[in-house]
Chain A
Amino acid sequence: MSQTTTPVTSTVVLKSWKAPIAFGIFTVVSFVIFILLNTGASTNFRLSTESDFIQLPAIDLPALGTGIFVTALLFAMTVLSFFFSNKGKSSPIWMISAFGFFFMVGFLTWAGADGSILIPGLLLGTVGLSIPLIFGALGGIISERVGVINIAIEGQLLAGAFVSAMVATLTGSPYLGLVSAMVAGMLVSFVLATFSVKYLVDQVIVGVVLNVLVLGLTSFLYSQVLSKNTAVLNSPPRFDRIDIPVLSQIPIIGPVLFRQTLIVYLMYIIVAVVAYALFKTKWGLRLRSVGEHPMAADTVGINVAATRFWNVALAGAIAGIGGAYFTLGSVGAFQKEMTAGAGFIALAAVIFGRWDPIRATLAALLFGFASNLQNVLSIIGSPVPSEFMLMLPYVVTIFAVAGFVGRVRGPAAAGKPYTKS
């Protein structure tokens, strides 16, 4: 989100061919896969589960017919996109979304041929896998916008997961567990902030060391303490799912978005608040100025060190909630290394989302969708080898970053310690 507009002289028309070329490649892929390599007869799409308020009938899509229809549609959009680019306009966002949607319909019909896909299940899993990534990415955005590179997201998630499981078990209250997860994430942040703001240590190195430290510490305590007293220390109560009246009865997306636990609703609020506050409030302006040009901020009387310290702490608290999701929201008991690299994917989402809360959330959702797609397809038996399927989310992320994001510019002063001269 660059705040400055580059002056473009009226005689130069910049033609970007990225979108039409990408569309063209995907159209060729869909022609080859959906039509030439088509094997099955039809795919059954189930749109509602037994517990849904409104029952939608299942749809059977013929595999070959859908393949031809989708390919034709994609071809039409590619032509339209070339037309736009030739005139010097960029392809509208609705067209990119529609292209993605129809490609996905074609892909699911091809890959799920002769099987049955439960659409709400696919989406529910997507949200489930994305939530820790979203919290982690928000923590990363706040920290990097204020000028401190946050590699320690993984450590903050893991610390949150560990402490929330233990506190919730001891007190019997998931709410206290959630609060303690925020404190745990904040403590990790305090170390990061102290070393990078006060002692000017290389932020990347501190972050990496913190990840290893938290991993080692939680694994050690898990083996030595938790696993020996599971009943007293590691069997936390989970948050109950809360149905939001009316909204949870919307077909397909209702149960996915509005029949969730407190942590998920908290995520909606935090994403909205951070997105608003970062760009529309005094707090956000100060935070970004410290991350872009700390000397200028200092000149106008902003305390750079304190701003950085406390906002990094806030970032840790938010990432800590993501950690609590692993235990109190999803799986229950803490397990060794249970975050399984989610913090690093969150870091990718920060860059993919160009340090913007909404875009980073969408990036995290894309990753969650790709992960769950992989899962669903490998269950119904896809023709692709399992090891390759496990790569799918990462491949999608690389394509998305390379194809649709391109060059990104982070906060100018991120990673650079500031000293008053």
Chain B
Amino acid sequence: MGIFSRKVAISSAAALGVVALLAGCASAPADEAADGGSLALPCMVSDSGGFDDKSFNQSGFEGLTSASDELGVTPITVESAAETDFAPNIQSLVDQGCTLITTVGFLLADATKSAAEANPEINFAIVDDGSITADNVKPILFDTAQAAFLAGYTAASYSTTGVVGTFGGMQIPPVTIFMDGFADGVAYYNEQNSASVKVVGWDVAAQTGSFTGGFAAGVEAKTAAQGLIDQNADVIFPVGGPIFLSAAEAIKDSGKNIPLIGVDSDAYVTAPDIKSMFLTSVLKQVGVGVADVTIAAADGKFSSAPFVGTLANGGVGLAPFHDYASKVNPDLQSQLDAITKGINDGSIKVTSPSSPK
């Protein structure tokens, strides 16, 4: 009996020790907020992509970091491994005394909504979702269709086979808005230049297309890209986190010279080993939006009016052509400038069912 109890005691102590050690790994709560309560404590929850996804989570994280540096506070950030982590992660930030919790991604909408209802005194901001209407929730939205429209026009102009392709991670509005803009941009090119470039992988009218079912750069994404190459596509626009990596391998296997178009950040910079494969990238400056909202909230100017990134305010845009600058049509840049101007003054309407309202 005595031996048994001692064993139990030792193993319990060991278990407690492990728990304490693991808990120690989490970021320490910021002391300023704990004792004073007057200072801002911005916090952030990622979706399952994590803050190193070379995409919108990372971009949001960088926005938060730069804003926090400017404010002189230490933000608390939590990564979600799966959808079941969303609600507990938000709750743990609430318990840490955060004053502004930014949730990155459309998939966190339900969790954010219930947390915002339960904690009306805390401010929330959510990237990529405009479905929540509450006084303490600010949507950070991006009209990426505008920038993707330019990318579609560019792809159509570059294509020699007359086929350009796109595929997405999951069929959710933040993904399909890119595909809508892209397809509309190709259609606009056809209309302006009486061409007949075809888009494979997305049908705007029917809102159906090619998706890998997730955001992992695995075998499914490679097969999807291979399918587009088999349809003779000579520009590929993979929409969704890291899936462009699989597309790049499919292109290498095909032995063809097919450029990619990146999404969210300038892939020429974020994916240096395959930078020569990028025609351009559709920029979605999540960081700009997040930093803007974080600083405004710290200054006590939080509002629930959505932040909408557009071509006009620099929230979305088209990256430089880099290595392809000499290979695209010399008139392309001036045509794109004219289109940008048209979109900004409203003479060219870019609409998508997924556009921020």
Contacts and interface: CB of A to CB of B under 8 A. Distances in A.
Interface of A: 49, 51, 116, 118, 121, 124-125, 128-129, 132, 216, 219, 223, 227, 230-231, 235, 238, 241, 326, 330-333, 335-340, 342, 371-372, 375-376, 378-387, 389-390
Contacts of B167: 379
B249 A380 contact: no
Contacts of B216: 335-338, 340
B52 A121 contact: no
A404 to B, nearest CB: 25
A227 B253 CA distance: 24
Contact of B213 (A129, A331, A390): A390
Contact of B208 (A227, A235, A333, A378): A378
B246 A331 contact: yes
Given A128-B222, A340-B216, A331 B210 contact: no
A378 B253 CA distance: 22
Contacts of A339: 218
Contacts of A231: 273
B223 interface: yes
Given A49-B230, A375-B223, A379-B167, 11 more contacts: A128-B226, A129-B220, A219-B50, A223-B50, A326-B219, A331-B245, A340-B219, A371-B223, A375-B220, A379-B224, A383-B206
Contacts of B210: 375, 378-379, 386
B53 to A, nearest CB: 8
Contact of B219 (A118, A330, A384, A390): A330
Nearest to A391: B213
B178 interface: no
Contacts of B231: 116, 118, 379-380
Contact of A121 (B165, B213, B226): B226
Given A125-B223, A128-B223, A330-B249, A381 B206 contact: yes
A335 B203 contact: no
Interface residues of B, number: 40
B212 to A, nearest CB: 8
Contacts of B206: 381, 383
Interface of B: 50-52, 79, 81, 165, 167, 171, 200-201, 203, 206, 208-211, 213-214, 216-224, 226-231, 242, 245-246, 249, 253, 255, 273
A386 B273 CA distance: 32
A242 B279 CA distance: 31
Q: Majority SS of interface residues in chain B?
A: mixed
A124 B250 CA distance: 12
Identify the interface centre among A219, A338, A382: most chain B CB within 10 Å of its CB: A338
A379 B200 contact: yes
B226 A125 contact: yes
Nearest to B166: A379
Contacts of B229: 121
Contacts of A375: 210, 220, 223-224, 227
15 contacts: A121-B227, A219-B50, A223-B79, A227-B52, A235-B273, A332-B245, A332-B249, A337-B216, A375-B220, A378-B201, A378-B210, A379-B201, A380-B231, A381-B208, A382-B208
Nearest to B273: A235
Identify the interface centre among B50, B209, B222, B230: most chain A CB within 10 Å of its CB: B230
A386 B201 CA distance: 10
Contacts of B219: 128-129, 132, 326, 330-331, 340, 342
A355 to B, nearest CB: 25
B52 A384 contact: no
B227 A379 contact: yes
A37 to B, nearest CB: 16
A133 B347 CA distance: 53
A387 B230 contact: no
Contacts, number: 117
Contact of B211 (A326, A384, A390): A390
A230 B220 contact: no
Given A335-B245, A336-B50, A340-B218, A376 B227 contact: yes
Given A129-B220, A335-B217, A380-B231, A124 B242 contact: no
A380 B198 CA distance: 11
A298 B100 CA distance: 65
Contacts of B213: 340, 390
Contacts of B214: 340
A238 B252 CA distance: 11
Contacts of A381: 200, 203, 206, 208-209
A339 B203 CA distance: 29
Given A235-B273, A379-B167, A387-B171, A331 B249 contact: yes
B250 to A, nearest CB: 9
Identify the interface centre among A49, A227, A231, A375: most chain B CB within 10 Å of its CB: A375
B203 to A, nearest CB: 5
Contact of A118 (B52, B201, B209, B230): B230
A340 B213 CA distance: 10
Identify the interface centre among A227, A326, A332, A385: most chain B CB within 10 Å of its CB: A332
A190 B108 CA distance: 38
A116 B208 CA distance: 18
A177 to B, nearest CB: 16
Nearest to A372: B223
A325 to B, nearest CB: 8
Contacts of B228: 379
Identify the interface centre among B210, B213, B219: most chain A CB within 10 Å of its CB: B219
Contacts of A49: 230
Contacts of B200: 379-381
Contacts of B249: 238, 330-332
Nearest to B246: A331
Given A223-B50, A332-B245, A335-B242, A386 B165 contact: no
Nearest to A337: B216
A336 B227 CA distance: 24
A132 B220 CA distance: 12
Given A223-B52, A381-B208, A386-B208, A331 B227 contact: no
B271 to A, nearest CB: 9
A336 B216 CA distance: 7
Contact of B217 (A238, A338, A383, A390): A338
A230 to B, nearest CB: 7
Contacts of A389: 208
Contacts of B165: 379
Contacts of B203: 381
B223 A384 contact: no
A338 B227 contact: no
A376 B52 CA distance: 31
A116 B222 CA distance: 20
Contacts of A219: 50, 81
B227 A125 contact: yes
Contacts of B222: 128, 330-331
Nearest to B165: A379
